[in-house]
Amino acid sequence: MNKQLTIGYGSPEDSRYIDAEDLKILYYENYFNVDESESYLAKLRKDIQWKSETATVWGKKVVMKRKIGWYGDEGKSYTYSGLTVHPNKWNDTLISIKEKIEKVSPSRFNSVLLNDYSSGEVGMGWHSDNEKELGRNPVIGSVSFGAERDFFLKHKTNKDLDKITIPLKSGSLLLMLGNTQHHWDHSIPKRMKVKDQRINLTFRKIL
């Protein structure tokens, strides 16, 4: 059985670069401070047009427990899990978050998928963000506000590689780089003891 590696960090200002086989990740534990994180969480609760969607999972139609929002430049639709979403127009809150993370990202983003995890009873299964609309080697910028949740990664084909766990804290920024999406899957496991909400934003560039 493979080990499960948990990535730890030093001071809150530290970033951590994780470079493994076919995996490149840059993680900022506290990219947004506590006050910023609480303010953004409150704004996202009320400023986002949240929707419950039906996705296709293993050939079956499933109503997702988490609510989602899709925002971006005009015409930047996105298809995943048999679901096509069309963008709402950017609002000031999302533009503010986007501009801040673009200061350290190698890519400019034109869209963002938001997921509302109401509690630890809501998770996300194994997947990768490798849809054709994202092109080759997409950069994904993942921002988290609210409850801390584990982020799992596993290589798609090399079972000898250790799985990786990154605790995603409120205010954190995780950048997935290089060919990560083509070779690694990631997931957010359920954590029944977590009672608080987490809102996650994954910024991306639709071609």
DSSP structure string for 142-159: EEEEES-EEEEEEESS-T
In a domain, 9, yes or no: no
- CATH no. for residue 31? 2.60.120.590
Question: Is the residue at 178 inside a domain?
Answer: yes
Domain that holds residue 98: 14-113+123-204
Rounded mean pLDDT, 184-198: 97
Total domains present in the chain: 1
- Residue 35 in domain: yes
Neighbours of 4 (CB within 10 A): 12
Give percent of the chain with pLDDT exceeding 70: 91
**pLDDT per position as a tens digit, 18-45:** 988 999 999 999 999 999 999 999 999 9
In a domain, 96, yes or no: yes
**Hey, is 173 helix, strand or coil?**
strand
Amino acid at 207: L
Residue 4 in any domain: the answer is no
Average pLDDT over residues 67-94: 90
